């Protein structure tokens, strides 16, 4: 839920109007594709308060640092790595489905890399920078269909620009309003996006964002020819892996639970036809 929607005091009305107008002038809204089978509504308008170009540039820099560190430790998978080739094969079927959810994805320089680590983790940063850790593949013994569900979910966070919206919200209305006329010229907002640094790797998305990414990712994977039922088996595996205090860090930002699994089960029939057509 947009945090501006609950503002009741009349003193906020003009400020809210200013924010909404600025958001519309800063960038074009990304709407739900007309042919979408899942119902997730429009992306948050607040994301437009943080310039996409600056955030994507920051993501590219942070991603490069992460890969350089992994390489220095001998943990970055080489091109001939069988697991990396498996990820590349899956991404080649999912990435062509991305542009219908965000037109900017046509210009993204998509990357998929694999890092040797026991961590159960995977992510897609703004601009299409994807990374998987070997721990999530090995410990959960994922099928290609289940990998596609994770990849689709993480791609959905980037396509729906959840990071832009979360960063805008985290700065608070006071900071945004104080920018005044600079807002429409980006001004300090560019610095804001460029300075988020490692926050891009540790952002905690809202429950609504997670649900959004689940459903969009489900559809991306189905359109790519991956069995949507795998979304259910994936999160069942996640729930089992999350038992006890030493559960995977992935679940601290992507909590599993009956409600999540039930929502996915309810949406599998919506994308089943897409999967069947893709498999023909």
Catalytic residues: 154
Query: In Å, how far from its chain's centre is CA 277?
Result: 26
Let me know: does 264 contact 234? Beta carbons within 8 Å.
no
The burial of 141, by beta-carbon neighbours within 10 Å (0-12 exposed, 13-18 middle, 19 or more buried), is given as exposed
Helix (H) or strand (E) holding 176: helix 162-178
The encoded tokens of residue 81 equal 């790595």
* CA nearest to 27, candidates 181, 183, 206, 212: 183
Residue 132: strand pairing partners: 114, 122
Residue 110 near residue 87 (C-beta atoms within 8 A): no
Tokens 């009349």 correspond to what residue?
10
Residue 130 backbone dihedrals phi, psi, to 5 degrees: -105, 140
End-to-end Cα distance, the chain: 39
What number of other Cβ atoms are within 10 A of residue 146's Cβ? Answer: 24
Instruction: Report helix, strand or coil for 35.
Output: coil
Q: Residue 219 to residues 35, 63, 100, 273: CA-CA distances in angstroms?
A: 11, 26, 11, 10
């Amino acid at each position: 839920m947009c945090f501006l929607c609950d503002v009741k005091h009349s003193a906020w009305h003009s400020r809210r109007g200013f924010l909404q107008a600025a958001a519309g002038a800063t960038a074009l809204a990304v709407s739900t594709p007309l042919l979408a089978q899942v119902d997730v509504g429009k992306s948050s308008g607040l994301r437009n308060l943080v310039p996409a170009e600056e955030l994507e540039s920051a993501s590219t820099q942070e991603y490069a640092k992460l890969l350089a560190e992994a390489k220095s430790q001998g943990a970055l998978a080489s091109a001939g790595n069988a697991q990396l080739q498996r990820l590349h094969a899956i991404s080649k079927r999912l990435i062509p489905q991305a542009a219908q959810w965000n037109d900017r994805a046509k210009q993204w320089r998509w990357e998929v890399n694999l890092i040797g680590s026991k961590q159960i983790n995977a992510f897609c940063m703004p601009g299409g920078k994807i990374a998987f850790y070997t721990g999530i593949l090995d410990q959960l013994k994922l099928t290609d269909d289940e990998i596609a569900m994770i990849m689709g979910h993480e791609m959905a966070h980037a396509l729906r620009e959840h990071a832009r919206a979360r960063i805008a919200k985290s700065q608070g209305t006071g900071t945004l309003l104080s920018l005044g006329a600079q807002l429409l010229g980006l001004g300090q907002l560019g610095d804001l996006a460029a300075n988020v640094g490692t926050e891009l790797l540790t952002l905690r998305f809202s429950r609504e964002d997670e649900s959004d990414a689940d459903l969009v990712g489900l559809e991306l994977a189905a359109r790519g020819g991956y069995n949507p039922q795998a979304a259910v088996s994936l999160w069942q595996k996640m729930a089992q892996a999350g038992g006890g205090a030493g559960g995977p860090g992935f679940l601290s930002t992507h909590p599993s639970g009956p409600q999540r699994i039930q929502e996915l089960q309810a949406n599998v029939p919506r994308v089943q036809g897409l999967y069947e057509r893709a498999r023909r």
